[in-house]
Amino acid sequence: MRPILTVGSVAFDSVKTPFGEVSRVVAGAATYFSIAASFFTDVRLVGVVGDDFVDEHLAVFAGRRIDLDGLQRVAGETFRWRGEYNFDLNTRETIYTHLNVFEDFRPQIPDSFRSSPFVFLANIHPALQLDVLDQVEAPEFVALDTMNYWIEGTPYELRRVLARVHVLVINDAEARELSGEANLVKAARLIQAMGPERVVIKRGEYGVLMTRDDGFFAVPGLPLEDVYDPTGAGDTFAGGFVGYLAAAPAITDDVVTQAIIAGSTMASFAVEDFGLDRLMALTEPQVKERFREFKRLTHFEAL
Amino acid sequence: MRPILTVGSVAFDSVKTPFGEVSRVVAGAATYFSIAASFFTDVRLVGVVGDDFVDEHLAVFAGRRIDLDGLQRVAGETFRWRGEYNFDLNTRETIYTHLNVFEDFRPQIPDSFRSSPFVFLANIHPALQLDVLDQVEAPEFVALDTMNYWIEGTPYELRRVLARVHVLVINDAEARELSGEANLVKAARLIQAMGPERVVIKRGEYGVLMTRDDGFFAVPGLPLEDVYDPTGAGDTFAGGFVGYLAAAPAITDDVVTQAIIAGSTMASFAVEDFGLDRLMALTEPQVKERFREFKRLTHFEAL
């Protein structure tokens, strides 16, 4: 069981979906990632919040295997985002993004975190992701998230960081944009040529696709009766995925496919309530039971 | 091994995709269905063509287990459709639909077909689907396809036929429209309450979802490097699905999930070339090998 260093946003979100809305709840990529990964292994979080992020907000991390020594608190307001989802939750509109203290975020990796064997670089400026990699000592495994904003705006920096990671975790639209190729099989191969050994493609309610030596591994999304808020599902997936890998004695092909299921499992919970609410109430037996549910969902007898 | 009666369109399609175009090729729901199903069992096709549908067109059925005694040839032109797909093949525009001889189609089930134990009603007017059911003797298994046009235009007739079928095979947008429910889990349960024991939901490149007693079975689409033309994929899926069921000694839960894979297998071939071209060249060993590919795609070790 190896600890994971993660660097990314800690934020306040306001979200409206057809099923309700919440205002100024604790969120952010590094938050969702850390809480999901902490079900499997120790997590070291590096990020920044403002002085409006107080004890009641820090409570979401309490009692979990999350080391907050790398979470800076500075004068000013915490990153805030507001989004609204359409009727089927498949598209959303950003109402505002106030970077606030996140605008000047320069990740400072505490000395005690520098030898972290696992690293997850959440979606931030590729130059900052590179800066983090320069501060850590030869990690065994680095996974990266990014988004269309960096693909379009900072392609050179993004290519430099891609050359240094083992796994890229992105969604299908981003995979198409990054590769300039509409076909996902070809897109994934083109991205692998940029550096990552594996490409993990998130497809929202349709599940996840992962490259491997002999083609792909794929899992559909678990059909859920109650989906309230998809925010954070991708980062929660990444947390379950990287967390499971870090907890395993070795990264075999079987372990990687199980890690995809672990990630899908965590994400399937995240969307069942607003913000972090479902993850806050989640128990380990529930995680194991849902992993088995994915097996029942997808199993068929070979010919 | 039981024969399947199918009733639906036999047509000429003209199709344009980002990868090329074809003009006036043999197509139609009953055509795709029959050719796919004939890999598994005997098929009895009932449909209508014009006098422009000549021996060279009939050749697509030759040497297959397809009985054409129910294919009427009448004076006039065969049903013609033209469609164009967008860059990622996920949406298409119908350029024209000329029903021609199909407009006055009244299915006449030959006496020798009336005791067919399996029936697939392809997408035609629900009143005609009901008329077919009135002409057959207590089939063991009836599956039905339909579309938004009938869901909106003839809801009463559609409800009457739904009450008499075992399986409804539709796409996700149609499932949502038919049930008036955006959530697919709830949509499927509402549709089951209309009659069908099972609902099979096609999701294009994302795969297939099927209800069962304890939740759902789901399979992702096989990631394909070459996708040229999605036309007919849904009917080809249905042909593999119903064909596999009809070929099995009994419809067990294991057999139904394998049938979903058989359907997905056939559909994955159909899209690899224009029109019927890939299915024309397809061999049984290739079908079995791709079935195994679906197993490799989706298999993971239980915890």
**Residue pairs between chains A and B whose CB atoms are closer than 8 Å:** 113
pLDDT, tens digit, for every residue of B6-44?
999 999 999 999 999 999 999 999 999 999 999 999 999
Average pLDDT over residues B211-240: 96
Which of B254, B297, B303 shows the shortest C-beta gap to A218? B297
Cβ within 8 Å, pair B301-A258: yes
Q: Are B2 and B246 in contact (CB under 8 A)?
A: yes
Which of B18, B220, B303 shows the shortest C-beta gap to A219? B220
Q: Which two tokens stand for residue A126?
A: 């590729």
User: What pLDDT is recorded for position A87?
Assistant: 83
N- to C-terminal Cα separation, chain A: 37
- The number of CA neighbours under 13 Å toward the Cβ of B52 is 13
Which residues of B make CB contacts under 8 Å with A? 18, 87-88, 176, 182-186, 188, 203, 206-207, 209, 214-221, 223-227, 254, 257-258, 260-261, 288, 291-293, 295-303
Which of B88, B217, B300 shows the shortest C-beta gap to A258? B300
pLDDT band at B139 (very low <50, low <70, confident <90, very high): very high
User: What pLDDT is recorded for position A147?
Assistant: 95
User: What pLDDT is recorded for position A106?
Assistant: 96
Provide the whole-model pTM: 0.96
Name every chain A residue with its beta carbon within 8 A of the beta carbon of B185. 223-225
Name every chain B residue with its beta carbon within 8 A of the beta carbon of A303. 258, 288, 291-292
Residue B186, SS3 per DSSP: helix
Q: Are A151 and A178 in contact (CB under 8 A)?
A: yes
pLDDT, tens digit, for every residue of B141-185?
999 999 999 999 999 999 999 999 999 999 999 999 999 999 999
CATH of domain A4-298: 3.40.1190.20
Cβ within 8 Å, pair B224-A254: no
User: What pLDDT is recorded for position B36?
Assistant: 98
Q: Are A145 and A122 in contact (CB under 8 A)?
A: yes
DSSP state, residue B169: E
User: What pLDDT is recorded for position B9?
Assistant: 97
Whether the per-residue pLDDT at B272 is higher than 90: the answer is yes
- The domain locations on chain B are 4-298
Per the DSSP assignment, residues forming a β-bridge with B144 are B121, B168
Cβ within 8 Å, pair A219-B217: no
Average pLDDT over residues B255-262: 98
Low-confidence ranges of chain A (pLDDT < 50): none
* Strand A11-17, strand A118-121: pairing: unpaired
Cα distance between residue A252 and residue A219, in whole Å: 18
Per the DSSP assignment, residues forming a β-bridge with B218 are B209
Q: How far is A294 from chain B (nearest CA, A)?
A: 9
* Strand B141-144, strand B66-73: pairing: unpaired
Annotate A195-228 with DSSP letters as a single string.
Answer: S-SEEEEE-GGG-EEEEETTEEEEEPPPP-S---
User: What pLDDT is recorded for position A88?
Assistant: 80
Q: How far is A275 from chain B (nearest CA, A)?
A: 20
Which residues of A make CB contacts under 8 Å with B? 18, 87-88, 176, 182-186, 188, 203, 206-207, 209, 214-221, 223-227, 254, 257-258, 260-261, 288, 291-293, 295-303
Cα distance between residue A250 and residue A244, in whole Å: 11
Cβ within 8 Å, pair B224-A302: no
* Strand B43-49, strand B92-98: pairing: unpaired
Q: How far is B298 from chain A (nearest CA, A)?
A: 6
Q: SS3 sequence, B125-151? A: CHHHHHHHHHHCCCCCEEEECCCHHHH
ipTM for the whole complex: 0.95
Cβ within 8 Å, pair A220-B207: yes
Select from B286, B300, B301, B303 the residue whose CB has the most chain A CBs within 10 Å, as the one to mutate to test that interface: B300
User: What pLDDT is recorded for position B237?
Assistant: 98
User: What pLDDT is recorded for position A287?
Assistant: 98
User: What pLDDT is recorded for position B90?
Assistant: 82
Helix axes B184-192, B172-179, angle to 10 degrees: 60
Cβ within 8 Å, pair B299-A184: no
User: What pLDDT is recorded for position B1?
Assistant: 81
Helix axes A253-270, A29-37, angle to 10 degrees: 120
Cβ within 8 Å, pair B300-A214: no
Cα distance between residue B284 and residue B290, in whole Å: 10
Name every chain B residue with its beta carbon within 8 A of the beta carbon of A87. 182
User: What pLDDT is recorded for position A238?
Assistant: 98
Name every chain A residue with its beta carbon within 8 A of the beta carbon of B226. 183
Q: How far is B84 from chain A (nearest CA, A)?
A: 17
Q: How far is B176 from chain A (nearest CA, A)?
A: 10
Cα distance between residue B200 and residue B145, in whole Å: 10
Q: Are A29 and A122 in contact (CB under 8 A)?
A: yes
Q: B172-186: string of b/e by CB count within 10 Å (b at 16+)?
A: bbbbbbbbebbbbbb
Q: How far is A11 from chain B (nearest CA, A)?
A: 29
Q: How far is A54 from chain B (nearest CA, A)?
A: 37
**A260 Cβ contact list (under 8 Å, min separation 6):** A200, A208, A210, A217, A219, A241, B300
pLDDT band at B303 (very low <50, low <70, confident <90, very high): confident
H helical segments located in chain B: 29-37, 55-58, 126-135, 148-153, 155-162, 172-179, 184-192, 233-247, 253-270, 277-280, 284-298
Name every chain B residue with its beta carbon within 8 A of the beta carbon of A297. 215-218
User: What pLDDT is recorded for position A10?
Assistant: 98
CA distances (Å), A29 to each of A22, A38, A81, B23, in order?
Answer: 17, 14, 12, 50
